[in-house]
Amino acid sequence: MTAKFITVEGIEGAGKTTQLMFIQHFLARHAIPHVITREPGGTSLGEQIRSLLLTPVEQPMAVDTELLLMFAARAEHVAQVIQPALLHGKWVISDRFVDASYAYQGGGRGVDMARIDALSQWTLRDLQPDLTFLFDLPVELGQERVNKRNQGRDRFEQEKIAFFEKVRHCYLARAQQEPQRIKVIDAAQPIDRVQAQLAELLQTLVT
C-alpha cells in the first residue's frame, strides 16, 4: 500500500485535536505505520518558529513576517519529517498544512494569493496532500468551544470574529475548487457522527 499524506484543517474550535486522535487509532487498528505531526512545528526548529508565531506580543507582527515564518517552518517540516516518512512507507497525518496559509494569511490577513502560490511552489515542489479533512463549523460556535477550554488564547485565537469569518470563507472556497482532495466535514455535528463520516472516508484509502 502506497503511503498517504493526509492533512487536517479547520478554524479554532473545530475539534481537530480530537479527530487527529481518532485518525491515529484508526490507522493503528489497520496496522498502518504512520507519523502524526503539526504546523507550524513538527521539527525542533519548527517548534521554535511556532512559539514566535503563537505567543502574544504587544507589537503586532508584520504580515510578511508571519507568512515567511510559516513557510520557513514548513520548508523544514517537509524536508525533515514529511518526505522522509513517506519515502519509508509511513503515512503522514499533519495538523494543518499549506491550506492553512491560504486561509489564515490569504483569507484572514489579505495577502495576495499569488504570493502564497509562489512560496508554495518554491517550498513544496510537487508535494501535495492525498486527502484533506476540513472540519467546518460556524465561527461563533468555534469561539464558544475555545472559551470553554479555560486556557489562555494564543496570538491567532485572540483575533476578532471577522478575521475567522474570512478564514472560514477561504477554506470553503478552496474546498469548492478541489472537491476531490478536500472533504468538508460538519464539525457542528455530534462527535459520533463526525467520526462515522471520517471513518468512511479513511476506509476508502485502506481498501
In the chain, % helix, strand, coil (3-state, to 5) comes to: 55, 15, 30
Measured CA angle at 5 (ends 68, 194), to 5 deg: 100
* pLDDT, position 1: 75
Residue 14 burial (CB count, 10 A) = 26
**Sites in the chain below the pLDDT cut of 50:** none
Grid coordinates belonging to 29: 487498528
Give CATH superfamily name and number for 5-206. P-loop containing nucleotide triphosphate hydrolases (3.40.50.300)
* pLDDT, position 81: 98
pTM of the model: 0.95
- Please write the tens of the pLDDT for every residue from 10-64: 999 999 999 999 999 999 999 999 999 999 999 999 999 999 999 988 888 999 9
Nearest alpha-carbon partner for 37 in 97, 89, 87, 88: 97
* pLDDT, position 206: 87
Grid coordinates belonging to 51: 512559539
d(CA 54, CA 27): 30
What are the beta bridge partners of residue 186?
Answer: 136
Residue 65 burial (CB count, 10 A) = 12
Residue type (1 letter), 119? L
Nearest alpha-carbon partner for 37 in 87, 80, 101: 80
* pLDDT, position 150: 67
Residue 78 burial (CB count, 10 A) = 20
Residue type (1 letter), 34? H
